Amino acid sequence: MAQAWQGKLEKLDNFRWKIPPSYKPGMKVPGLIYANESLLPGILNDKALEQVANVSFLPGIVRYSLAMPDIHWGYGFSIGGVAATDPDIGGVISPGGVGYDINCGVRLMRSDLTLDDLKPKLQILVNELFNNIPSGVGSSGDIKASAKEEEEIFLKGAGWAVKRGYGVKEDLEFTEDKGSIEGADPSIISKRAYERGKNQSGTLGSGNHFLEIQVIDEIYDEKKADAFGLFKGQVTMMIHSGSRGLGYQICDDYVKSMVSCLGKYSINVPDRQLACAPVNSPEGKAYLASMKCAANYAWVNRQCLMYLARNVFEKVFNKSWSSLGLKLVYDVAHNIAKMEKHKAGGKEKILCVHRKGATRAFPPCHPDLPDAYKEAGQPVIIPGDMGTVSYVLAGAIGSMEETFGSTCHGAGRRLSRSNAIKACAGRNIDKELFNKSGIIIRAKTRSTLAEEAPEAYKDVSEVVDAVHGAGLSTKVARMRPLGVIKG
């Protein structure tokens, strides 16, 4: 049972709440939580706020230990946690600030199809996607890579997939970091991590990973929606997956080995799950180089999943994916650490930004955005649960001023997986959602459906309203689910 927050929160405005450094001796910076009044009771009843305070102990942390409105308890960092550290003053990198599913992320595809076009073929489409896209725990796929090619995947990311014919160059333009981070080092990946990642490119996985067919039912900003190629009544598809067993093993390798760094570098943190090392230390550099391998692998995975999905659309509609307008809107990472340029102490510096269950949200005119989105800002993709709506937002200037270019990543869990299973005992979640909303769901196991039941999650509309109101990202479009594939 989660213990309710025992400390004091200072209300700064309707969307910002502060944990003062006086809450816990050793806090280097305040905690800053983004939430509205309706989300606050659930946040206060979670252990995550203690983790926000604990993260503020990290050496070199800059400005705040941040939490998005989808915050909930995680490993070391809360999920929904953001922290930036300055390597020039001993700033650290913490595997707990990235998480086990390295570069778990989501991509959104648009189409030229409307709901009327889709309706006659929806059930066939969902069944074909379920039958042709590997999903579930430990699933492996038909996209194979030799040992040499696995190294190329780690080094080149989604570019490897495009080179192999699993996409087009335009896909890379609309992927965060163009689907690859420089500095990966395959030579330091453990044999166990290699084995766990083998043959998992193009696999959905399990848990909260999904593929969802949607229709846009609301446009909030016509100009930005037009820039993203979105319109009301349009069919879209969202893919949510990550680095699978590879990323999990890399995280596991380092959360264990970095505990020794606490004593070696005289680092004092209140939770061993915050084990870390200076960014510029041998251990810190090794983790970053390994994490980048997993991040690049995850981008390959989502690129291959999109390739498989495009093939299914071609089969069902008897048209090429390009003639159906199945283009990538954007792909964003949720669990990652990046070396980025931000303001610290009144000047621009290269900081190590941890985003765990948080999305990059760069504003208009940012140099890292593709030319097509320079005026609109970065697309921010916020999935809800499988029974409710999802959103597209655009990065706003407030994110660069306050949160190191970050915003929320989803609805955020309200119930643990075990509590969700208990709450849904004896129920047929797929039948409930079909009878209530006409949503067609296909899943490998009933336990997955129980874990991912709508009541296990916060209200995504409240979460999105909080970051919109705080000026971190602005609402562009809303989508409702039509068909969902779960592992």
Q: Which residues are catalytic?
A: 409
The amino acid present at 450, given as its one-letter code, is A
Taking the CA atoms of 417, 421, 422 and 423 in sequence, report the sign of the dihedral they define.
positive
Tracing tokens 């806090």 back to the chain, one arrives at 27
Which residues on adjacent β-strands are paired with residue 212? 238, 484
388 contacts 212 by C-beta, under 8 angstroms:
no
243 contacts 301 by C-beta, under 8 angstroms:
yes
Instruction: Classify residue 320 by its DSSP letter.
Output: -
Q: Per-residue DSSP letters for 13-82?
A: ETTEEEE-GGGSTT--S-EEEE--TTTHHHHHTSTHHHHHHHHTTSTTB-S-EEEEEEEE--SSSPEEEE
87 contacts 60 by C-beta, under 8 angstroms:
yes
Q: What is the CA radius of gyration of the chain?
A: 21
What's the half-sphere exposure (Cβ side, CA atoms, 13 Å) at 246? 33
Nearest to 388 by CA among 465, 446, 453, 485: 453
Q: How far apart are CA 415 and CA 409, in angstroms?
A: 17
Which residues on adjacent β-strands are paired with residue 85? 61, 352
CA 465, chain centre distance (Å): 18
Nearest to 453 by CA among 482, 478, 431, 477: 431
Q: How far apart are CA 340 and CA 86, in angstroms?
A: 10
Which secondary structure element, helix H or strand E, spans residue 158, and what is its range?
A: helix 158-163
